[in-house]
Amino acid sequence: MQILDYEVGIRNINYTVKTEDGIIFSHKLPKDTSSIQVRKCLKVIANKVDERNKS
């Protein structure tokens, strides 16, 4: 997983992420989310995106 870009909004940060399989997706998280939690959350979502596209 690789974070390609992010956009800071008023309450949220919108992350653009590339999965291990090369699929790109976006996801918003609240600004007060710690960087460790952001990484964990985006990793879980990236794994689910990759699994969905394999079947």
Q: Could you tell me which residues come within 8 angstroms of residue 26 by beta carbon, excluding any fewer than 6 positions away? A: 14, 15, 16, 17
Q: Where exactly are the structural domains of the chain?
A: 2-54
CA distance 44 to 12: 19
CA distance 55 to 52: 6
For the stretch 1-53, pLDDT in tens is 999 999 999 999 999 999 999 999 999 999 999 999 999 999 999 999 999 98
Whether the per-residue pLDDT at 55 is higher than 80: the answer is no
| pTM (2 d.p.) | 0.91
Check residue 54 and give its pLDDT: 83
Check residue 27 and give its pLDDT: 97
CA distance 31 to 29: 6
